[in-house]
Amino acid sequence: MPDTYIIIFILWAVILGGAGGVLTTIGPWYRNLKKPSWQPPDWLFGPAWTLILGLSAWAGILAWQGATTDAERTAIIILYAVNFVCHFLWSPLFFNLRRPDWALVEVVFLWGSVLALCIELRQFSVLASWLIVPYFMWVSFAALLNLKIVHLNAPFGKRAGV
């Protein structure tokens, strides 16, 4: 049986990927948003996130194996927990609450949490740090896409007098 930490990192990826799929509603509201021509097709997001979260789970496993103290392992858990919360919040803000503007604010925290993973995991495993780079690049791209969607469609929420 695999060590508990391996199961935990795999569950981290599976829960985030599953929640992202469940909380992402591609309906009329989303389809009617103005989007930039450079937005990837909708079908690409699922496979991209699956690969990215799988690599990130692997990074967590490698970092855990490279950590030598309980304090270092606690730091890894905190990094992944903060990232979990930041990652989890984006889809409901954008799709369920229909607030790309709020999601744009939140994506800054998600981006920061991924950057922290990339930087901090390096002390435990250089490969782990590199395995986070696709996550960092995809979130950076997603943040730019989010910004452009806000720019093309603002304002959001209830408008005065409506």
State which amino acid sits at residue 62: L
Q: Per the domain annotation, does 71 fall within a domain?
A: yes
- Give domain status of residue 159, yes or no: no
Residue 161 lies in a domain: no
Alpha helices in 67-99 (DSSP H): 70-91
- The domain containing residue 111 runs over which residues? 4-153
Angstrom CA distances, 7 to 41, 58, 63, 122, stand at 32, 11, 14, 22
Domain count, the chain: 1
Residue 150, pLDDT score: 97
**What pTM does this model have?**
0.91
Residue 158 in domain: no
What is the Cα–Cα distance from 92 to 60, expressed in whole angstroms? 25
Is 72 in contact with 129 (CB distance < 8 Å)? no
pLDDT at 157 over 80: no
- Residue 28 placed within a domain: yes
The predicted structure's pLDDT at residue 2? 59
**pLDDT score for 159:** 54
- pLDDT per residue as tens digits for the range 119-144: 999 999 999 999 999 999 999 999 99
Q: What is the CATH number of the domain that holds 139?
A: 1.20.1260.100
Is the residue at 53 inside a domain? yes
